[in-house]
Copies of this chain bind each other. A is one copy, B any other.
Amino acid sequence: MTNQRNPRGPYRKSAERREQILQAAYEAIDEHGERASLQDIADRVGVTQPALTYYFPTRDDLLLAVLERRDMRGKEIAGAAASGKGMVEGMAASARHATDHPGLAKLSVTLSAAATDPESPAHDYFTERYRALAAEVTQELEAQQKAGALRADQPADHLARAVLAVMDGLQIQWMHDPTVDIAAIAETFARVLAPSAGAGQEAKRRDHPGH
């Protein structure tokens, strides 16, 4: 994935302007959700709406770029937490990131739902988004399986899709009922993916049948 969706800005100044607009949109949606207006976003940067349209031809282009940035931040946060304290803390951090930024979480859910329609302009984008996310998470989980930090009795690509599904589904439940502690549920889910002592012993027995 790349943040340079619009190749028309050939100069550095143009790239900076695009980045300013994207960051302003990210912050406006973080604060106000999808109700954030293009005018509000243009005002934050000090440009006109047509200038904004030069960088992001449609509202959807801008919203998808914001979602891309949210995906990236989410991965950084989950990755940082996981590298220190393992997958349980990584998934909890990911859930907390969602509930700390409800406007961005809601953007993700509603854009994704709208794009399930094959005729939606964002349909192909989401197909590729999930494919890329699934591939990345699979790679990460395979590494954890090799390191003995994740149960290795189930295929990593299935577990990766399940992890993504659980995070999507929990965000939806939280939006319907903010009293649901989805960080705690995400932790529980991460725990069922831990290699159990029994499974480890069983694997050892398989590897060293004489012992």
Contact = CB atoms under 8 A, between A and B. Distances in A.
B169 A167 contact: yes
Nearest to A151: B192
Nearest to A186: B162
A109 interface: yes
Interface residues of A, number: 52
A211 interface: no
Mostly, the A contact residues are helix
Interface string A107-146: 0011011111100000100110111001000000000000
A14 B48 CA distance: 58
A191 B110 contact: no
A117 B113 CA distance: 14
Nearest to A117: B106
A159 B184 CA distance: 11
Nearest to A158: B188
Contact of A165 (B173, B191, B196, B197): B173
A36 interface: no
B165 A172 contact: yes
Query: 7 tightest CB-CB pairs across the interface, nearest first?
Result: A198-B198, A165-B169, A113-B113, A116-B175, A158-B188, A168-B169, A169-B169
Interface of A: 106, 109-110, 112-117, 123, 126-127, 129-131, 134, 151, 153-155, 158-159, 161-162, 164-170, 172-173, 175-177, 180, 182, 184-185, 188-189, 191-193, 196-202
